[in-house]
Structure 1
Amino acid sequence: MSTTDTRVAPATLRTATGREATRWVAAHCRDVPWLTAATVLTTVAGAALQVLPVLLLGWVVDGVVEGASRSILVTIGVLMGAAALLGAAATAVSTYLIGRLGADLLARLREGAVRAVLGMPSARIEQVGRGDVLSRVGDDVAVISKGIRTAIPTVFSAGVLVVIATFGMFGLDWRLGLAGAGALPAYALALRWYLPRSAPLYRKQRAAQADRAQALISGLNGIDTVRAYRLEDAFREKVTSESWRVRDLGIEVFRFFGRFVGRENRAEFIGLVLIIVVGYALLEADAASLGEVSAAPLLFHRLFTPLGAIMFTFDEAQKSGASLTRLVGVLGEAAEDRLVGDASVAPASAAPLPVTVEGLTFRYPATEEPVLKDVDLTIPAGGSLALVGATGAGKTTLAALIAGIGTPQAGSVRVGSTDLAGLDEAGARALVSILTQETHMFSGPLADDLRLAAPEATDAELMDALRTVGADGWVDALPNGLNTLVGEGGERLDVTKVAQIALARLVLARSPVVVLDESTAEAGSEGAAELERAVLAACSGRTTLFVAHRLTQAMAADRIAVLDAGRVVEQGTHEELVSLGGRYARLWRAWKEGS
């Protein structure tokens, strides 16, 4: 009997640190060196050319004072105009290149995050909730995309301009540069106050948006149950509560940012006053020229625009940074969890394989009591086994483990000679196909939906699979047959037809083992008998595990296992268990009386 690591995984997807996110961005910038270098060079050139006219203006003032010739002043004026035009052109090119570089990074990040999410074990997705997952690959990507178009180019370009202008002031006179630098402590204090408080606040806002998405998704996914039990008001109140929390956090962020802007304005006032006072003193002492003293406050004032741009877009940049850490954190999930990978363990043929469960014990994270305890089961190659038991007995958990979803704390599940604990989910799917009651139709041509299970299948093979599950008749009657659009914007299929499509995918997948977890439960009484025949046809010749919703399914299986409180308490054929007079016999009698 083997044991595995029982450390509890976090209830939400991982969020990276700022340093990790920065390293990721730097690494991908190194992958496109020419684009990165061109972006930096054009940004620096644009900033320098924007500062140059101010410095030249100081020369004009000194030239007028010293009585310079008119031609020199005209030349300086032409240079000022040329610098302004070239600076505008360089800034435009820089903005384009920053956007292109950002779009390239976003594409890589989005693809990596989606790939990581698709590769996560299904148990991990269920653990963290779909709201957290969808908010990262949806909302967070949208936030970063908006930031790349607006905030990030502005912050980067303005930051470079601030550095160039600061060096320009020191170039005029080091004392004027120091006077301007007197504003730096006030800027630093404002940032020191703002940054440590803002990042957690933005992350809190993003988490609240994820909770709101989860509330919406859970309500929409179970809309029929909500309506059946008249829980509309309760779910509406929950969504409203989460929406108000998002709104309140948005107001808190806005107020917090307003206080930051006030501190930044105070720093600008301090710097400008110091430059004017020091400049006047230098002029009085004849230690600096009028042109230098005139250019210094203009240069410092030139900082107001980029600093203001940084402040007014810093809110968006912080949101982008918070979303970046959440997406980079998703990439970090891959290192510790089993990812979709190579399906090389698939047998050369689709011949059925036996399933052996030995000493299986499984406990969910943050719980002390196991859901399954020392379960032993065997399904012969090509045979079928039905799991029955009361709600909460552990049927669905056992079915998931046999399908390779999750890893037990003790014991093993083997398909043939292969232990599923040693496989990633691609390997597990090559051996075992699972079908639950939560079937889904993707929008698009019906043929594309079917080819999810077999991308290379021909139209003839698709029709053979549909014929196997009894769906060929209504598919032929569709306006464009296999090419008919289904799902949103196309033909709306009822639950029985959707279940038949899912069973046809099962046929096309050709895995040697099949797990069906109440896959016909949603069909209702009208389509139940038809679907049960389709299930038997789809599973013919394959090793099959049924989680029986109806005892008629259990009757059709070769053997039946009865679960109670996570343990197998009875095994045998339908006739053997009925004659035994135990739990299954009581379930059978209750079911017959109910029918």
Structure 2
Amino acid sequence: MSTADTRVAPATLRTATGGEAAGWVAAHCRRAPWLTAATLLTTVAGAALQVLPVLLLSRVVDGVTGGGSRSVLLTVGVLMVAAALLGAVATAVSTYLIGRLGAELLARLREGAVRAVLGMPSARVEQVGRGDVLSRVGDDVAVLSKGIRSAVPTVFSAGVLVVIATAGMFGLDWRLGLAGAGALPAYGLALRWYLPRSAPLYRKQRAAQADRAQALISGLNGIDTVRAFRMEDAVREKVTRESWRVRDLGVDVFRFFGRFVGRENRAEFIGLVLIVVVGYALLEADAASLGEVSAAPLMFHRLFTPLGAIMFTFDEAQKSGASLTRLVGVLGEPAEDRLVGEVSVAPTGAGAYPVTVEGLTFSYPDTEEPVLREVNLSVPAGGSLALVGATGAGKSTLAALIAGIGTPQTGAVRIGPHDLAGLDEAGARALVSILTQETHVFSGPLADDLRLAAPGASDAELMEALRTVGAGEWAELLPDGLNTTVGEGGERLDVTEVAQIALARLVLGRAPVVVLDESTAEAGSEGAAELERAVLAACSGRTTLFVAHRLTQAMAADRIAVLSAGRVVEEGTHGELVALGGQYARLWRAWREGS
């Protein structure tokens, strides 16, 4: 077997550049041309109609000072009211269309991100950590969804209004327009100072939130081990440290944004002073009318509201932008060519394959010491082996490698005649199924949830799989049977029922080898014994590897392997190892006394 590729993938998922994210948005806007065009048209119309009353006001002032007729003033007044009403309607429609367009883009992005995560090699997901993955398809989607509902429509509409209002100032008098434009350098300097510094700061904040999520997930997943080894203080300290880091970055973001607001206020002051001074000079030189000079400051002041809206929602918009780059970055992650498939040789005999581990050594990237060293194991076809050892011994890592997740630096894992190193993800999944504590029920009909493992399974086969794992009784009592909606927004299921659904998928998958890592972590709860029986039924006739976090699991296996510091130090049956008086015997005595 060749050594692993020396190129080390990044320890976090990819983050796209701002240009890549903008390109993705533009490309998907082109897929909805009518909605995009309607959104732009109503936004521009709404902005123009909001500016029109200010332009008409100059006509009113000039009409009054010039002794114009009342009919003209009445007509202008009616036009001002009509423009204000139509502008409000156009703005409301624009806000709705922006939200709808954003929702469609978010749906496509979310589906693409989830599809990309599901298509990643399992080793990549393990490498970056579940915290980073979950924060992207969870927290980042939530942040972007909130931004699309509030910040994005505000920033977009306000930006268009700024452009229209600026054009309106030049329409009054080009010299007054130039005076107002004198504030642009100050605005530009403020943005030039803010934007390059803010985007990395927001990305850093989102990454810190991902680290916090990873710390929480790791502690909760291994709660039994944490309690057994009295590591509560260490885990709590790590979560607290990550939480303080998120808080400190939040304070930095708020303080940084406050400095940006100060710079924007200075730009507004400069522009208003220039317009008043230039307007006064033009009026004194009789080069502009009183109406034009009066309307110009109001027009410039009309910019304050959209600019203020942009500033006060820019914080949320920046967060949305950071989340957008993280989600678009996920789309660029390399994926397996095939997610499902079949091996070329069908299992023989009773549907089981032997498992052979030869000279396996494995190290994680950026670590000097191997997690596993020269591991040799064998499990006969249809037999079972339990892995036992202290936290950090390498149990879960070995189980993942046997399941085809990751590639060892040296050594080999063989499932029957197949070397896992020569198979793609689809081939590995056809040979080995892995089940962990992190079971999930997807929102939708129960039948669809089960058919994730066997798309062509009939209703009768689904019910038989549920009965095999002891779930037939409660499944038959569901309001609509297999068509009952479960998961979020559907029928509530307890932890035992969720675990049984995962085991039923295991039955339907029919892989000849099964790896179970903490799959019955609810032992000690009311449904523990039921789950233990369900596991034995689901694994019947298959070669099974248990990562035994409780010694009752180890006792049920044909043989037990004890790991310490990445090596197999003892191997035998429960009785043999207890009689040996070694490490397993000490673990057994400690467990029995604790029980």
Q: Shorter-chain TM-score: which interval?
A: 0.7 to 0.9
Please name the residue that 2:385 is paired with.
386
Task: Compute the displacement of 1:271 (Å).
Answer: 0.7
Task: Compute the displacement of 1:565 (Å).
Answer: 5.6
Please name the residue that 2:166 is paired with.
166
Is 1:78 the equivalent of 2:92? no
Please name the residue that 2:328 is paired with.
328
Please name the residue that 1:154 is paired with.
154
Is 1:298 the equivalent of 2:298? yes
CA-to-aligned-CA distance 1:362-414 (integer Å, 9 cap, x gap): 2211112333455566666x453636565455443233222111123345445
Please name the residue that 2:28 is paired with.
28
CA-to-aligned-CA distance 1:104-148 (integer Å, 9 cap, x gap): 111111222222233334443343333333322222222211211
CA 1:514 to 1:139, structure 2 compared with 1: closer, same or farther past 3 Å?
closer
Please name the residue that 2:339 is paired with.
341
Separation in structure 1 between the aligned mates of residue 302 and residue 435 of structure 2, nearest angstrom: 65
Separation in structure 1 between the aligned mates of residue 525 and residue 299 of structure 2, nearest angstrom: 80
CA 1:166 to 1:441, structure 2 compared with 1: closer, same or farther past 3 Å?
closer
Equivalence map 1:117-132=2 (5 Å): 117-132=117-132
Between 514-523 and 274-283, report the one with greater CA deviation.
514-523
Q: Which residue identity lines up with residue 325 of structure 1 in the other structure?
A: T
CA-to-aligned-CA distance 1:412-447 (integer Å, 9 cap, x gap): 445456553455534422221123466667799877
Task: Compute the displacement of 1:102 (Å).
Answer: 0.8
Give the SS at the match of 2:433: strand
Please name the residue that 2:510 is paired with.
510
Please name the residue that 2:135 is paired with.
135
Separation in structure 2 between the aligned mates of residue 473 and residue 142 of structure 1, nearest angstrom: 36
Separation in structure 2 between the aligned mates of residue 93 and residue 552 of structure 1, nearest angstrom: 62
Is 1:103 the equivalent of 2:103? yes
Give the SS at the match of 2:435: strand
Task: Compute the displacement of 1:509 (Å).
Answer: 1.5
Between 510-519 and 426-435, report the one with greater CA deviation.
510-519
Report percent identity of matched pairs.
Answer: 79
Task: Compute the displacement of 1:163 (Å).
Answer: 0.9
Is residue 120–residue 340 contact of structure 1 (8 Å, CA) maintained in 2? no
Give the SS at the match of 2:339: coil
Between 391-400 and 225-234, report the one with greater CA deviation.
225-234
Is residue 202–residue 319 contact of structure 2 (8 Å, CA) maintained in 1? yes
Separation in structure 1 between the aligned mates of residue 58 and residue 553 of structure 2, nearest angstrom: 94
The alignment of Structure 1 onto Structure 2 pairs a total of residues equal to 584
Task: Compute the displacement of 1:480 (Å).
Answer: 7.6
Separation in structure 2 between the aligned mates of residue 448 and residue 230 of structure 1, nearest angstrom: 41
Separation in structure 2 between the aligned mates of residue 135 and residue 593 of structure 1, nearest angstrom: 41
Equivalence map 1:3-42=2 (5 Å): 3-42=3-42
Separation in structure 2 between the aligned mates of residue 518 and residue 86 of structure 1, nearest angstrom: 63
CA 1:498 to 1:190, structure 2 compared with 1: closer, same or farther past 3 Å?
closer
CA 1:268 to 1:554, structure 2 compared with 1: closer, same or farther past 3 Å?
same
CA 1:443 to 1:175, structure 2 compared with 1: closer, same or farther past 3 Å?
closer
CA RMSD of aligned residues (A): 4.2
Separation in structure 1 between the aligned mates of residue 64 and residue 486 of structure 2, nearest angstrom: 78
Between 181-190 and 280-289, report the one with greater CA deviation.
280-289
Is residue 546–residue 553 contact of structure 2 (8 Å, CA) maintained in 1? no
Equivalence map 1:147-546=2 (5 Å): 147-226=147-226, 235-236=235-236, 238-332=238-332, 334-335=333-334, 337-338=335-336, 341-345=339-343, 351-353=351-353, 355=355, 357=357, 360-373=360-373, 382-384=381-383, 386=385, 390-391=389-390, 394-415=394-415, 418-421=418-421, 423-436=423-436, 452-454=452-454, 456-458=456-458, 460-465=460-465, 468=468, 471=470, 490=492, 492=494, 502-517=502-517, 523=523, 537-546=537-546
Q: Which residue identity lines up with residue 343 of structure 1 in the other structure?
A: G
Q: Which residue identity lines up with residue 57 of structure 1 in the other structure?
A: L
Is residue 563–residue 570 contact of structure 1 (8 Å, CA) maintained in 2? yes
Separation in structure 2 between the aligned mates of residue 327 and residue 415 of structure 1, nearest angstrom: 36
Give the SS at the match of 2:368: coil
Separation in structure 2 between the aligned mates of residue 566 and residue 227 of structure 1, nearest angstrom: 22
CA 1:85 to 1:465, structure 2 compared with 1: closer, same or farther past 3 Å?
closer
CA 1:129 to 1:41, structure 2 compared with 1: closer, same or farther past 3 Å?
same
Is residue 340–residue 429 contact of structure 2 (8 Å, CA) maintained in 1? no
Separation in structure 2 between the aligned mates of residue 300 and residue 439 of structure 1, nearest angstrom: 58
Task: Compute the displacement of 1:183 (Å).
Answer: 0.6
Task: Compute the displacement of 1:359 (Å).
Answer: 5.5
Separation in structure 2 between the aligned mates of residue 302 and residue 19 of structure 1, nearest angstrom: 31
Q: Which residue identity lines up with residue 327 of structure 1 in the other structure?
A: L
Q: What are structure 2's unaligned runs of at least 5 residues?
A: none
Separation in structure 1 between the aligned mates of residue 461 and residue 72 of structure 2, nearest angstrom: 85
CA-to-aligned-CA distance 1:12-42 (integer Å, 9 cap, x gap): 3332222222112111111111111111121
Give the SS at the match of 1:366: coil
Separation in structure 2 between the aligned mates of residue 551 and residue 81 of structure 1, nearest angstrom: 80
Is residue 466–residue 475 contact of structure 2 (8 Å, CA) maintained in 1? no
Separation in structure 2 between the aligned mates of residue 306 and residue 552 of structure 1, nearest angstrom: 64
Separation in structure 2 between the aligned mates of residue 169 and residue 91 of structure 1, nearest angstrom: 21
Relative to the length of structure 2, the TM-score reads 0.82
Q: Which residue identity lines up with residue 158 of structure 2 in the other structure?
A: A
Between 249-258 and 387-396, report the one with greater CA deviation.
387-396
Separation in structure 2 between the aligned mates of residue 531 and residue 312 of structure 1, nearest angstrom: 53
CA 1:19 to 1:546, structure 2 compared with 1: closer, same or farther past 3 Å?
same
Q: Which residue identity lines up with residue 384 of structure 1 in the other structure?
A: G
CA 1:156 to 1:12, structure 2 compared with 1: closer, same or farther past 3 Å?
same
Q: Which residue identity lines up with residue 21 of structure 2 in the other structure?
A: A
Between 31-40 and 527-536, report the one with greater CA deviation.
527-536
Separation in structure 2 between the aligned mates of residue 555 and residue 49 of structure 1, nearest angstrom: 77
CA 1:417 to 1:203, structure 2 compared with 1: closer, same or farther past 3 Å?
same
Is residue 183–residue 271 contact of structure 1 (8 Å, CA) maintained in 2? yes
Relative to the length of structure 1, the TM-score reads 0.82
Separation in structure 1 between the aligned mates of residue 569 and residue 220 of structure 2, nearest angstrom: 38
Is residue 159–residue 306 contact of structure 1 (8 Å, CA) maintained in 2? yes
CA 1:390 to 1:421, structure 2 compared with 1: closer, same or farther past 3 Å?
same
CA 1:124 to 1:94, structure 2 compared with 1: closer, same or farther past 3 Å?
same
CA 1:23 to 1:88, structure 2 compared with 1: closer, same or farther past 3 Å?
same
Give the SS at the match of 1:13: coil
Is residue 463–residue 472 contact of structure 2 (8 Å, CA) maintained in 1? no
Give the SS at the match of 1:116: helix
CA-to-aligned-CA distance 1:35-71 (integer Å, 9 cap, x gap): 1111112111221222222222223333444444444
Task: Compute the displacement of 1:538 (Å).
Answer: 3.8
Is residue 106–residue 145 contact of structure 1 (8 Å, CA) maintained in 2? yes
Give the SS at the match of 1:15: coil
Give the SS at the match of 1:514: strand
Task: Compute the displacement of 1:510 (Å).
Answer: 0.8
Give the SS at the match of 1:433: strand
Separation in structure 2 between the aligned mates of residue 298 and residue 528 of structure 1, nearest angstrom: 73
Is residue 355–residue 413 contact of structure 1 (8 Å, CA) maintained in 2? yes
CA-to-aligned-CA distance 1:325-368 (integer Å, 9 cap, x gap): 22222222x22x54772325476778445555566442211112
Give the SS at the match of 2:396: helix
